[in-house]
């Protein structure tokens, strides 16, 4: 009985659409985050003086600190984007698949 339900879900075209969209979107966001992190690491490796430059002549804070904070915030933003789409489009597709499988 359970195996029959699994096969019906897997054979549903909407399930294939859901898996494809979710996987593609997840990889896209992951690649964006990796580019951000690796760009930061490359700047640290090849031009550390850029991040060590003070914001102003009298400031103790360097440019690297706000950039580091921006990287952390970008991770939260990308997570929020994924959650927003998951709660909307992906959950709607999941619900349709469940209803059709009954």
Structure tokens at 68: 């580091």
CA distance 53 to 61: 8
User: What local confidence, expressed as pLDDT, does residue 1 receive?
Assistant: 57
Each residue's pLDDT tens digit, 45-97: 999 999 999 999 999 999 999 999 999 999 999 999 999 999 999 999 999 98
Q: Quick check: 67 and 51 in contact, CB under 8 A?
A: yes
Question: Mean pLDDT: which of 11-15, 38-42, 57-61, 93-97 is highest?
Answer: 38-42
User: What local confidence, expressed as pLDDT, does residue 73 receive?
Assistant: 98
SS3 46: helix
Q: What is the DSSP letter of 62?
A: B
């Amino acid at each position: 009985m359970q195996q029959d339900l699994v096969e019906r879900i897997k054979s549903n075209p909407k399930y294939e659409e859901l898996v494809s969209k979710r996987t593609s979107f997840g990889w896209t966001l992951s690649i964006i985050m990796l580019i951000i992190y690796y760009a930061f690491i490359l700047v640290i490796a090849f031009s550390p003086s850029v991040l060590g430059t003070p914001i102003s002549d009298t400031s103790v804070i360097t440019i690297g600190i706000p950039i580091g904070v921006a990287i952390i915030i970008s991770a939260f933003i990308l997570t929020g984007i994924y959650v927003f789409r998951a709660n909307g489009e992906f959950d709607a597709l999941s619900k349709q698949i469940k209803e059709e499988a009954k």
